[in-house]
Amino acid sequence: MLRKLLIGTALASGLAFAAHAEDVKEVQMLHWWTSGGEAAALNVLKGDLAKEGYAWKDVPVAGGGGDAAMTALKAMVAAGNYPTASQMLGYTVLDYAAAGVMGDLTETAKKEGWDKSVPAALQKFSVYDGKWVAAPVNVHSVNWLWINKAVMDKIGGTEPKTFDDFVALLDKAKAAGVTPLALGGQNWQEATMFDSVVLSTGGPDFYKKAMNDLDEESLKSDTMKKSFDNLAKLVTYVDPNFSGRDWNLATAMVIKGDALVQVMGDWAKGEFHAANKAPGTDFLCYRFPGTDGSVIYNSDMFGMFNVPEDRKAAQIALATATLSKSFQSAFNVVKGSVPARTDVPDTDFDACGKKGIADLKAANDGGKLFGSLAQGYGAPPAVANAYKDVVSKFVHGQIKTSDEAVTELVKAIDDAK
Ligand code: GAL
């Protein structure tokens, strides 16, 4: 009886058959989750693994969006020093898989039923050549506004439904002497905001053609020019000290009421959560004006490396914990994202989280779920970097006009392809 019970427990914990005496009871993880909200979310995972007896070897590489982390990862992998797993975005997973350095989690995936519970849009990036090479942690989406409620009340603002409404709202904040738009002047933040501007300006079909299919006609179209015009307009509402500012410091400006709004992925909500702020009373979450019904997504994945035998049990434990329903709820409530499985109840999520879950489902069902080009889900890293570079040069005045921006964008993407 006891023996049966023990075997049952081992099976349930996902460690069946794999664990043996010489296994290294440690998970080494490279990631860029160093802000307050991100660290709080990561603690949920560390706690779950500690309960199973796994030590956590942290490899944090600060820098939102993960560019610095990916440089560090490249060096580790080149030296043959694979972490158990690394945080990765979309096309980066596929690049490492193509390079033949990823492990194979297919057996675990089968046992845990990932094929059925993880949406196809994520499986496209976590399964390579029929093998599971990464465990999706969450689904983030970038087309959000994060607004300080007290400032909104003070200026008598209401939810902006169109780009023009948004501009009118920003004008109200300006007139009241509040910084209208909190932005961090780093290329990935500017490009993340521009993803939303393109969707708002051109609509869903245009976004897909330009930002996912990289269709040249769309990239050089008047609609793309208009998107750059709209971006230029938004930049006029940013404070003069925005260059180089970290994203979470921009979020803090909104949390404190020093700015009205930030356009950012829902990891920003993790910062509000960490500061004990509640949606509806302290802050408001609206879709970027003119993008209702569509979701531009990214998903953090734990790319699983082909580690030596004695580190595989720890990797399986990590992957199993990551995709467990309870973790998917607990972690994403803190992180600001929504679950990477379709069968996790929204009970524990706040109003923005519930909206995020419902929006994702509706967008997916309606064919309006699109990969973020800024966040690694629109095109391979070389193209995404070219895009970020052009957008940033435009924001900082090194590219002067929308005409020039479009020409540079087409050229940069072409060169990167
Ligand atoms: C994104 C990542 C999020 C969040 C953000 C800022 O790339 O998907 O999880 O951490 O960067 O660091």
Q: Which domains does the chain have, with CATH numbers?
A: 2-140+298-359 (3.40.190.10), 141-297+362-416 (3.40.190.10)
Q: Whose CA is nearest to atom 3 of ligand 1?
A: 267
On whether the pTM is more than 0.85, the answer is yes
> How far is CA 69 from its chain centroid?
14
Q: How far is the CA of 206 from the centre of ligand 1 (A)?
A: 25
Counting every residue written for the chain, the total comes to 417
What pLDDT does residue 21 have? Answer: 60
Residue 320 has φ and ψ, to the nearest 5°, of -65, -45
d(CA 344, CA 346): 7
**Which residue of 93, 140, 248, 297 sits with most ligand 1 atoms within 8 Å of its CB, as the best mutation to test the pocket?**
140
Tens digit of pLDDT at every position of the chain (417 positions)? 333 333 433 444 444 445 556 899 999 999 999 999 999 999 999 999 999 999 999 999 999 999 999 999 999 999 999 999 999 999 999 999 999 999 999 999 999 999 999 999 999 999 999 999 999 999 999 999 999 999 999 999 999 999 999 999 999 999 999 999 999 999 999 999 999 999 999 999 999 999 999 999 999 999 999 999 999 999 999 999 999 999 999 999 999 999 999 999 999 999 999 999 999 999 999 999 999 999 999 999 999 999 999 999 999 999 999 999 999 999 999 999 999 999 999 999 999 999 999 999 999 999 999 999 999 999 999 999 999 999 999 999 999 999 999 999 999 999 999
Q: Which amino acid, one-letter code, is at 246?
A: D
d(CA 326, CA 239): 41
The response to whether residue 33 sits with its C-beta less than 6 Å from ligand 1 reads yes
Nearest to 35 by CA among 54, 60, 68: 60
Give the E-state strand segments of 275-315 in sequence order.
Answer: 283-287, 295-298, 300-304
Other CB atoms closer than 10 Å to residue 58's CB: what's the count? 14
Using an 8 Å Cβ cutoff, are 132 and 104 in contact?
A: yes
Atom of ligand 1 nearest to the CA of 33: 10
What pLDDT does residue 22 have? Answer: 87
**Which residue of 29, 30, 38, 296 sits with most ligand 1 atoms within 8 Å of its CB, as the best mutation to test the pocket?**
38
Q: How far is the CA of 12 from the centre of ligand 1 (A)?
A: 31
Max CA distance (Å), the chain: 76
Using DSSP, how many helices (H) and how many strands (E) does the chain show?
A: 19, 14
The response to whether residue 64 sits with its C-beta less than 6 Å from ligand 1 reads yes
d(CA 244, CA 185): 5
